[in-house]
Amino acid sequence: MKTGVSILGIFVADTAYLASRMPRIGETITGSGFSVGPGGKGSNQAVAAARAGSQVSFISRLGRDTFGEMALKTYAEAGVTPKIVQMDDLPTGAAFIYVNDENGENAIIVYPGAAGSIDIEDVEAARETIENSRVFVTQLEQPAAAAERALQIAHAARVTTVFNPAPAEPFPETIYPLCDYIVPNETEGAALVGFALPTPDDARRAGDELLRKGAKTALITLGERGVLYHTDNQSVLVPAVASGPVIDTTGAGDAFVGGFSAALARGLEPVEAVRFGCATAGIAVTRRGTAPAMPKLEEIEALLSRGAAA
């Protein structure tokens, strides 16, 4: 019996710097805060899905170092089952994260480290894990060839596939037909379709283009405007779910993907799963950090029961 969520992606140690603005080239400015914690899109999504009540397996590579130990401790605490290869010749990855200390907006540079060497052999070694899950998730921080092979395995095994095309890197067009759900944000969506998405109608037009390319469902996350759920016969703008003042948007997309995937794995209908993902993100943005900000199932359910909307 298929159960839970499997995720292929990377872990990096997030080094987050708070300041009123980014420095210019050659300039040094004083920041207002600093933290180091667990990050990486796939890893964040795994923690979010586990805290949201799903069984989760995370497939990746780590270095055999302090940051790798941080990753394994994170998974033990969150209840994520690691399917990890540890390497002696490459370090665990790291990310520079600038967070605006006034509005929570961010800018990020990621070095994937050991996870950047994930290959098709890693995916084949995890075949059983992927085939036995109800939902499979991947992104583009690891090589696209590995993501595509994993999606092929999941698709052939009739596992629901969720593809988060982030960061906005080129990938083979053959990935689209493997996607039950493709989940870009508005910036990534614009990169995929070649036009900006300032309005819901633009997002729907982008959704049509993603469906034309072969995806079954387009889920376009639009920040405070919510998430567009778009199929051949249904298009619903699901509103954002507010939980409190927004202080850090860094992990919002990962919170949504993790929460949405966990809800799908539990059997929620897709639009309800989108709303569950919105609530997950709505809580995460009220906290500092990425993985540490992911809420627990009872928090998400309590927020949804209050019917809060942004």
Domain limits of the chain?
A: 5-306
Whole-number average pLDDT of the chain: 95
Q: Would you state the pLDDT for residue 94?
A: 95
For the question of residue 89 being annotated catalytic, the response is no
In the sheet with 218-221, reading across from the earlier edge strand, the strands are 80-87, 56-63, 5-8, 135-138, 160-163, 181-182, 218-221, 227-230, 235-238
Strands 227-230 and 235-238: antiparallel
CATH architecture for residues 5-306: 3-Layer(aba) Sandwich (3.40)
- Quick one: pLDDT band at residue 251, thresholds 50, 70, 90? confident
pLDDT at 187: 94
DSSP per-residue string spanning 282-310: HHHTTSSSSGGGPPPHHHHHHHHHHT---
Instruction: Report how far Cα 141 is from the mean position of its chain's Cα atoms.
Output: 10
Q: What pLDDT does 7 receive?
A: 98
Residues at the annotated binding site for ATP? Answer: 185, 221-226, 253-254
Q: Is the predicted pLDDT of residue 52 greater than 90, yes or no?
A: yes
What are residue 240's phi and psi, to 5 degrees?
-60, 155
Measured between alpha carbons, how far is 106 from 96 in angstroms, rounded to an integer?
A: 10
Q: Mind listing the pLDDT tens digit for each residue in 97-121?
A: 898 988 888 888 989 999 999 999 9
Of these residues, 65, 122, 180, 254, which one is catalytic?
254
DSSP-assigned letters across all residues of 120-188: HHHHHHTHHHHHT-SEEEE-SSS-HHHHHHHHHHHHHTT-EEEE---S-----GGGGGG-SEE--BHHH
Contact 89, 38 (CB under 8 A): no
For 186-239, what is each residue's pLDDT tens digit?
999 999 999 999 999 999 999 999 999 999 999 999 999 999 999 999 999 999
- Residue positions in the annotated binding site for K(+)? 248, 250, 284, 287, 289
Q: Return binding residues for substrate.
A: 12-14, 40-44, 141, 254
* CA-wise closest residue to 114 among 82, 91, 143: 91
Contact 119, 145 (CB under 8 A): yes
- Residue 197: CA atoms inside 13 Å, Cβ hemisphere, count? 27
One-character DSSP codes across 37-97: EEE-HHHHHHHHHHHTT--EEEEEEEESSHHHHHHHHHHHHHTEEEEEEEESSSPEEEEEE
> Of all residues in the chain, what percent carry a pLDDT higher than 90?
86
User: What's CA 235's distance to the chain center, in Å?
Assistant: 22
pLDDT for 308 beyond 70: no
If you average pLDDT over residues 169-187, what whole number do you get? 96
Q: Which two tokens stand for residue 282?
A: 């709505």
Q: Each residue of 256-290: pLDDT tens digit? A: 999 999 999 999 999 999 999 999 999 999 998 88
pLDDT band at 5 (very low <50, low <70, confident <90, very high): very high
